Amino acid sequence: LYMSRTFSIIKPDATRRNLTGAINAVIEAAGLRIVAQRRIKLTQAQAETFYGVHSERSFFGELVAQMTSEPVVVQVLEADNAVPKYREVMGATNPENAAEGTIRKLFALNVGENSVHGSDSDENAALEIAQFFAEEEIVG
């Protein structure tokens, strides 16, 4: 099997409610391995860079405010087909549309406070991982 990586963030709405362990349990039960993890407070600049692709969207200001409001947990996850696997485990962006058993169905509050981020392509996963982790911090 070809092991690949994705980038995950446990968002402020989840860390605030003490859900880091509960979310990690869902991640690990799905067969994704947490190979790097750090709890940080995102700066305004980090959040704006990270979500730069959404800078023209109406919700951008709200998104950046939300992502910098409380600590987050940044993670690298490893699995066979890690990117699509984690997207499936996360569930739909809007928790109203998320499938049973997904992280967002279980824990998300609304479309903005949806508990987790996961990369949407292998290319973006590599860019996002490099924004937060040095290669020597990732221990597979």
* 81 annotated as a binding-site residue: no
- What is the x/- site pattern for ligand DAT, positions 81-100, by CB under 6 A? ------------x-------
Per rule CB under 6 A, is residue 106 in the interface with ligand DAT? no
Cα three-residue angle 35-108-49, rounded to 5 degrees: 60
On whether 105 is known to bind a ligand per the annotation, the reply is no
- 54 annotated active-site: no
Our finding on whether 122 is near ligand DAT (CB under 6 A) is: no
What SS3 class is residue 64?
A: helix
Question: Residue 113, SS3?
Answer: coil
20 is annotated as contributing to ligand binding: no
Q: Which is nearer to ligand DAT, 37 or 124 (CB)?
A: 124
Alpha helices (runs of H) in the chain, residue ranges in sequence order: 12-16, 20-29, 44-50, 60-67, 82-90, 103-107, 122-132
The residue ranges that bind ligand DAT (CB under 6 A) are 54, 59, 63, 93, 111-112, 114, 117, 120
